[in-house]
Amino acid sequence: MSYMIPLLVSLSRQKCTIYFEINERKNQLKELINLAMDCMGVAVTIIDKKGTLLYYNQHSGKISDRKPEYIGTDIHSHHKKADTNKKLDLMLKEFEEGRKDPFHYEAKPSEKTFFVTLSPIIKNGEFIGCVQTVRPKNTELENE
């Protein structure tokens, strides 16, 4: 029986090491994803199915009204034009009803025009949110 205690301690340390290594790998992967999102050259915003802002990349903060304090708040309250919220609600409703195809449209929140894509995020067959990408019109990507 005296050998069981060191063995259990040893196993416990191995589990901690494995757990630490898994968490470290997850943190590295999250960092890599954030870096990739920030160097894409397009604005990326993620909202849940109710419109709560969950994530935005650095580029999104440069071309639209995105601030750290907006995370966890209703995206509707940050839109300057009332018709923007009506359009968003209609798209969210269609995704909730089963639409799988993204919406593609142009938006002109200020003097610049942007190409916008709003795509549903589906998990286990259920609509759970959206990812929005935005890029200025008249970019190199426009000609592809």
Locate 77 and state its tokens.
Answer: 């309250």
Phi, psi of 79 (to 5 degrees): -85, 135
Regarding beta strands 53-56 and 126-136, do their DSSP bridges make them parallel or antiparallel, or are they unpaired?
unpaired
Task: Give the DSSP per-residue string, 49-83.
Answer: TT-BEEEE-HHHHHHS---GGGTTSBGGGG-SSHH
Please indicate whether residue 110 or residue 75 has the higher confidence score (pLDDT): 75
Q: What is the pLDDT of residues 93-106, one digit of tens each?
A: 999 999 999 999 99
pLDDT of residue 91: 96
Tell me how far apart the alpha carbons of residues 116 and 132 are, in angstroms, rounded to a whole number. Answer: 7
CATH entry 3.30.450.20 includes domain 41-143: yes
Confidence of residue 139 (pLDDT cuts 50, 70, 90): low
Query: Which of 16-20, 27-31, 50-54 shows the highest mean pLDDT?
Result: 50-54
Structural domain boundaries of the chain? 1-39, 41-143
pLDDT of residue 12: 54
Full-prediction pTM beyond 0.95?
A: no
